[in-house]
Amino acid sequence: MMDHVRDLASVRDATERLLSAVAELDNAAAAEPSRLPGWSRGHVLAHLSRNADALVNVLEGRPMYASASARDADIARDAGRPLDVQLADLRKSAALFEDTGAAPADWSRTVELRNGVTDSAARVPFRRWVEVDLHHVDLGIGYELEDLPEEFTAREIDFLAERFAGHQDVPATTLDAGDGRTRTTGGGAGGGPVEVRGTAADLLGWLCGRRDGTALTVRGGPLPALPPL
């Protein structure tokens, strides 16, 4: 069961880590490429601010974004701002998300995200935590998948295993992160079962598209090609 109060506290901690790290940059560093193709660090920071606003929309029953093109345009518009403006925006949008999450609400209700995806309101704080911590890694400023909180890594592996479960392009696959648990995913494609083993960080990196999986051990077939998130 999701503990949204605990997850909101984790979002706050992750945001403070991010803000402290980004505050050490300068305008030139903020304009440099991130690890995400085609995005500068400024694009990542702008996305994080606008994502906080978008998740406020979700919690308050409005469309997450006006449209996909509006989402992209807002990120492009805000990407080149000076670092102090980026930081102020990120603080302000994060505070609004936190305040919205603290308001009395029915956390068991179903909410709608992008592209018709639905989820329980209680999982929205964890989704925000994912955005903040994984995009902190994407900035390429010294925070790596190995630095993520252990709880976060385990839960995000669970979430992604669930997301790919039954996918028509992924064969039956078992995941072993060395934590004493075996997770299963895929199953919609022929072949397998494939067993994928590795450290929690390497397994998460492969599942979320941040690593190519070459550090993983695979048995029963080739490493499955995962669809984009």
pLDDT digit string (tens) for 33-78?
Answer: 999 999 999 999 999 999 999 999 999 999 999 999 999 999 999 9
**pLDDT given for residue 1 in this prediction:** 64
List, in sequence order, every beta strand (DSSP E) within 145-188.
171-176, 182-185
C-alpha gyration radius of the chain: 18
Burial class from Cβ neighbours inside 10 Å (0-12, 13-18, 19+) for residue 120 reads middle
pLDDT band at residue 2 under the 50/70/90 scheme: confident
**pLDDT given for residue 191 in this prediction:** 86
* Residue 201 phi, psi (nearest 5): -65, -45
Q: Tell me the two tokens of residue 38.
A: 């085609």
Q: What is the dihedral of CA 73, 14, 148, 34, to 10 degrees?
A: 30
What's the whole-model pTM score?
Answer: 0.97
- Has residue 22 got a pLDDT over 80? yes
β pairing state of 171-176 and 189-197: parallel
Sign of CA dihedral 194, 228, 124, 31: positive
The pLDDT > 70 percentage for the chain reads 100
**pLDDT given for residue 41 in this prediction:** 98
